Amino acid sequence: MIKIEHLVKNYGSNCAVDDISFEVEEGEIVGFLGPNGAGKSTTMNILTGYLSSTSGKASIAGIDILTDPIGAKKLIGYLPEQPPLYLDMTVEEYLNFIYNLKGCRIDTLGESREAHLEKICDTVKIKDVYHRVIRALSKGYRQRVGIAQALIGNPKVIIFDEPTVGLDPKQIIEIRNLIRGLGKAHTVILSTHILQEVQAVCDRIVIINKGKIVANEKTENISAVVGRSRRFNLKICGPKKDVLALLKGMAGISYVEELAGSDGEAFNYMIESEPGVDIRKKLFFALADAKFALVGMEALGMSLEDIFISVVDQSEVKTVRAAAPRQRRPKGKERFALEHELGSSLLENAQKQRAEAALQETEDDD
Ligand code: ADP
């Protein structure tokens, strides 16, 4: 349904999109994931005909967006990061305006204007604010109106650019459920920098970093990109100092950390094995030989954060290797610090968004 082939976009000497190719099948929901500045918006803007490419091809259902932009745009509903709303219009006025702008007709839609708009308002749950001025709506409702305008004309493809930015956690869940539901009747591309978003919503994940695609996998297979978990939480009985010495001295273990707390006679540790090493059996027998009872072993599943850091790291290592051959991936404590930082920034973001939403609701009530 969507095909991007060797797409390149240069802004002067800055290459924002660097020879990317990927396809989206009909009915798929694909997450386009990457850090800020990775090239997501540039790609979305080329795909929706807002921006020309330096070279390469983008097509929707076989129609080339560059050679037949109007034909291709008829197949696309687009929600940019900032929803294109006229705040002084009521929802009713705005949706009718978009209906006219898109040149919708009863004979092509197969239903009347009223029936079409009512169905969309039902889907995005904005019937109760249909006669209200958009300026008076909360951010969550405005986003729904933005989604409604994208759905007008029944486009085959819907493209969302960062659809949950600035929403509070409850609104985020509602919008994600809504997008998930749209996947039944539409092909959807969702651009985001939020890892949980793609995990919650998408069938497939395409990860972009510095203009290049670093992963393109089904959501459930994405961990295969970087191999299985190599981290374990352990509960081991025995003097801490001796247990730590044994773990640190063991071939195949690349990182050891003592964790807080204890469980009866056992203390807690976290280890990470070298890539490709299954350390479990060897560890069990080594501890048994030393008479340290292993009373707990829990594999730490790979979160999307791990995967993201890992694939982005790998691509960075590949691109910088020529210039700096000894560049290395962050390991152990350094890497966990990075993940922790990422977790904290997500939390901070959520808190900020909640505060903004509360403020917005107060304003709306006034
Ligand atoms: P993302 O959406 O992933 O945050 P963008 O596509 O907005 O990334 O940006 C990719 C790169 O292109 C960034 O380095 C950004 O600074 C640059 N860029 C984006 N738009 C412009 C522009 N209009 N002029 C020059 N550089 C731009």
When comparing pLDDT for 170 and 55, which is higher? 55
CB 149 within 8 A of CB 84: yes
Q: Of all protein residues, whose CA lies closest to atom 7 belonging to ligand 1?
A: 41
CA of 150 to the centre of ligand 1 (A): 23
Mutate to test the pocket of ligand 1, among 41, 82, 194, 210 (most ligand atoms within 8 A of CB): 41
To 5 degrees, how large is the angle CA 91–CA 168–CA 119?
A: 35
Alpha-carbon distance 5 to 17, whole Å?
12
Q: Order across the sheet with 157-161: list the strands.
A: 76-79, 157-161, 187-192, 29-33, 204-209, 212-218
| Ligand 1 neighbour 42 (Cβ under 6 A) | yes
When comparing pLDDT for 125 and 357, which is higher? 125
Whole-prediction pTM? 0.69
Q: State residue 231's pLDDT score.
A: 85
Q: State residue 16's pLDDT score.
A: 96
Lowest mean pLDDT among 44-53, 70-79, 218-227, 293-302: 218-227
| Ligand 1 neighbour 238 (Cβ under 6 A) | no
CA of 37 to the centre of ligand 1 (A): 5
User: What's the token pair of residue 327?
Assistant: 């560049």
Is pLDDT at 248 greater than 90 in this prediction? yes
Q: State residue 235's pLDDT score.
A: 96
| Ligand 1 neighbour 266 (Cβ under 6 A) | no
| Ligand 1 neighbour 362 (Cβ under 6 A) | no
List of residues 6+ apart from 4 with CB closer than 8 A: 20, 21, 22, 23, 43, 47, 56, 57, 58
When comparing pLDDT for 35 and 241, which is higher? 241
CA of 16 to the centre of ligand 1 (A): 6
Mean pLDDT of all residues in 256-265 = 90
CA of 11 to the centre of ligand 1 (A): 8
